[in-house]
Structure 1
Amino acid sequence: MNNGKVIVITGGSRGIGAKTALEAARRGLGVILTYNANPDAAHALVREIEAAGGKAVALRLDVAIASSFAAFRADVERALATTWNATHLSGLVNNAGYGLFQPIAAVTEAEFDGLFNVHLKGPFFLTQALLPLLRKGSSIVNLTSATTRVAFAGVAPYASFKGGLAVLTRYMAKEFGELGIRVNSVSPGPIRTELGGGLNDEFEALLSSQTALGRVGEPEEVARAITTLLTDDSGWINAQDIEVSGGYVI
């Protein structure tokens, strides 16, 4: 069943992105999910969504390559037409990303540029490219991070660009308001994902001890928050950075 709304989720083949795709489809949204290096996981997720009665399409996208966004927009337009008989999107989730744990003194220019391209430049220009497809009433959700609030040694470039994305979220909300488009960001705390190599037992215990609810979060918990922002239930929430962290370092 589909309610006529279709969204794009970048980095949708695993982790928070994959759980968001599943949750969005469960709530009746059509899903265009992107992958970069793992087509098998992306297409398996599409089959899972379809088996549950939803509709989804997987498209390849490297968010670090802004020059590819015009071609990606054309791919989205074709997917909308052939799968949903539609011409417009109702939402965009800028989720794709990766982690790097490296002290400032050791970060290379290439590592810095790679994180910048994926976490700030990519969302900026991908949103610009897809903006003409977003209809009135659409919602954009950018994935930021609790590391912008709590300094954690070894993630300075990542956190800096996520902080930039939080600021960009407010500016998008300001400029896109006249189009009837809401823009918010979701800021996960410690989550059980593969980002940055995942969690070992010792690291998980440390993070759990720093969280009011005494554990790390699950991707599904972030996915539910993201998906709620994509629906009319959050129709008056705009220009906000919403932390989903269980009370991390409070």
Structure 2
Amino acid sequence: MKSRAIVTGMMCGTLLAACSEQEGPSIVGHWKAERATVFSAQLPVGPDIVISEQAIRVPGTDGTIALSGITKKSGEAVLEMPYGVGLSFYFDGADRVHLNAPLLGKIYYRRVLDAVPTQVAVTGAVPTVPAPPPAIAVPPASSAPQRPAPAAQSANVIDVAATTDAAPNVATSTSTSPEFAHAVLAARQGDQDLAIDRLRDAFQHGFKNIDELDATPEFAALRSDVRFQALVARYR
């Protein structure tokens, strides 16, 4: 009887260990390349990827890789591709992973929560664009009159017309690029990571006014950041 109890206990322990290995964050979702280390410099690299149980695809392109399955290990998810090839992602948290690429080293990805499209108030036009996560509270400049927020305005809509009045150094052409305006606001508040993300979105949505970018004083602190330098050099 005693030996049977020992064997039963060992089996239960094995089952509990196997179950615990299956727990943890999921690799399924939308992931955005964060940065890669190249010769001690951290540069943004790699496209967005969307991982499902059946495939890996690159949004906005026809690039799709079929998957035969996903194997989860402790802190690792292996995407099983055709011909016995496996691609390993290592979790650095619930919403951050990395993979090891030849020559480039570690490429980091962070999870993107796809937002529901909303409207951004812009002087003279109201285009429908993805809502920036999260909305940025813009303090009014001391010399500009404060404007009460319209009662019917949604909490996640930023009045770009008000922010340009409060910030005369931002070129008026930013009214045609909400993403660029968000980048300026984030840089003014000292959030360099968000400023670079919004500036990358502006380029991807067609922003090409490099002269305006060079003349914007809010980006002065970013000009020594290698991520900013690489991003601007790519679209200059």
**Structure 1 length normalisation: TM-score?**
0.29
- More contact order relative to length (CA 8 Å, sep ≥ 6): 1
By percentage of residues, which structure has more strand?
2
By percentage of residues, which structure has more helix?
1
Q: Rg: which structure is higher?
A: 2
**Structure 2 length normalisation: TM-score?**
0.30
